[in-house]
């Protein structure tokens, strides 16, 4: 087995209808410029428009690199804890057992497809959403399932994970927004501090 390099990117900022804003387009261009320095083999994206459009912008700056949809990258809640801390109670309000099970199935499919070594060395970009990014990082660190909560991810932030046969995955970079100017560095979740 060879090394698989995943470059996981959250989509650019989007409006309430899921379409990229001007800031989101600029964020996508800037992360594309950063990724253009790497030997990228393929760009995978969620079927949702904000991720598909971000991936299209990235693909425009990576000539010859195929851009493909992967259903496993869709925005979803990967795990609903048995006991929810009071700070998260409102977030999970209304999730029933069927929805939780559906989210867990998508999370399992995401890990099965992408979180493992490949037969040959690959460099893949995954354009997805905050929760799948958090789930992949949690999985790579072998952290408890509920630990995906609180792993916030900025728009167009870069996370790099390396998978090699026989050793634990390595999280090389998490939520790196160094390619973005300060006014474009944020999570999209409330006003918060912009680093």
Which pairing describes strands 170-176 and 158-163: parallel, antiparallel, or unpaired? antiparallel
Can you tell me the distance from the alpha carbon of 170 to that of 75, in angstroms, rounded to the nearest whole number?
Answer: 23
Q: What is the pLDDT of residues 41-94, one digit of tens each?
A: 999 999 999 999 999 999 999 999 999 999 999 999 999 988 877 888 888 888
Looking at residue 87, what is its pLDDT?
80
Looking at residue 82, what is its pLDDT?
84
Strand partners, 176: 158
Looking at residue 192, what is its pLDDT?
57
pLDDT band at 2 (very low <50, low <70, confident <90, very high): confident
**For residues 143-151, average pLDDT:** 93
Phi, psi of 30 (to 5 degrees): -70, -40
């Amino acid at each position: 087995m060879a090394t698989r390099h995943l470059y996981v990117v959250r989509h650019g900022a989007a409006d309430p209808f899921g379409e990229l804003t001007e800031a989101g387009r600029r964020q996508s261009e800037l992360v594309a410029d950063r990724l253009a320095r790497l030997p990228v083999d393929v760009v995978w994206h969620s079927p949702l428009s904000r991720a598909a459009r971000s991936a299209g912008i990235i693909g425009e700056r990576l000539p010859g690199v195929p851009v493909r949809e992967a259903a496993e990258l869709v925005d979803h809640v990967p795990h609903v804890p048995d006991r929810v801390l009071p700070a998260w109670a409102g977030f999970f309000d209304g999730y029933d057992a069927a929805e939780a099970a559906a989210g867990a199935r998508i999370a399992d499919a995401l890990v099965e497809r992408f979180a493992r070594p490949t037969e040959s060395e690959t460099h893949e970009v995954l354009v997805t959403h905050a929760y799948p990014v958090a789930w992949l990082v949690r999985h790579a660190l072998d952290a408890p399932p509920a630990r995906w909560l609180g792993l916030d991810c900025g728009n167009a932030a870069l996370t790099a994970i390396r998978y090699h046969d026989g050793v634990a995955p390595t999280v090389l970079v998490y939520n790196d927004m160094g390619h973005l100017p300060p006014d474009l560095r944020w999570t999209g979740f409330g006003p918060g501090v912009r680093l």
